[in-house]
Amino acid sequence: METLMFRKMVLLVLIMVIMMGNIANSKLHNVGGSRISWNPNVNFIQWSIHQHFHVADWLYFGYGEKYYSVLEVNKTSYKKCVDTGFIKNVTGGAGRDVFELKEAKTYYFMSGGGFCWQGLKVVIKVIQHVAPPPQHVSSESKSASDFCQVNQTLVMLILVFIWGILFK
């Protein structure tokens, strides 16, 4: 009975470590720099210059004005502040919108309601997490970085396998 408890504990710790690794890998960016900075008074170009957006990161749009919104649009619509034919309406209604950056590409966001004309729009350039260049890494550290990049499917399979051994 006690061994079973111990085994469960070990498994729980393993799962937690893996999940923490996952969270540490993706970042949440407050658009504009703070929790409530989705508004026309913020210089979004200045803000985004100093940010590094990676695949699997998240954006947070926080605002108190109920007439603001968050629309994902294409480059043309971004430039011309066109709020029809958008790609995605990210607006949830509570002034706390989140968006996952799933691809390495340039995303364009703007507010509807005419606020885009006042500057409520932002460009987000997303890049892939880069692996260290192979020629500059010793074979030891290279295998370590390879190990860190083992994919999640594999990790889950290993977990299920361990689970099977412990609880058969």
Contact between 149 and ligand NAG (CB under 6 A)? no
When asked if residue 112 is in the footprint of ligand NAG (CB under 6 A), the reply is yes
- Tell me the DSSP string of 72-134: EE-HHHHHHT--SS-SEE---SSSEEEEE--SSSEEEEE-TTTGGGGT-EEEEEEEPPPPPPG
Rounded distance between C-alpha atoms, residue 64 and residue 61, angstroms = 10
Question: Judged by CB under 6 A, which of 76, 118, 128, 141 binds ligand NAG?
Answer: 76
Closest approach, Cβ 82 to ligand NAG, in A, equals 6
When asked if residue 165 is in the footprint of ligand NAG (CB under 6 A), the reply is no
End-to-end CA distance of the chain: 14
Place of tokens 């629309």: 71
Residue 99 near ligand NAG by CB under 6 A = no
Q: Does 114 bind ligand NAG (CB under 6 A)?
A: no
Residues of this chain that bind ligand NAG (CB under 6 A): 69, 71, 74, 76-77, 82-83, 85, 89, 91, 93, 112, 151, 153-154
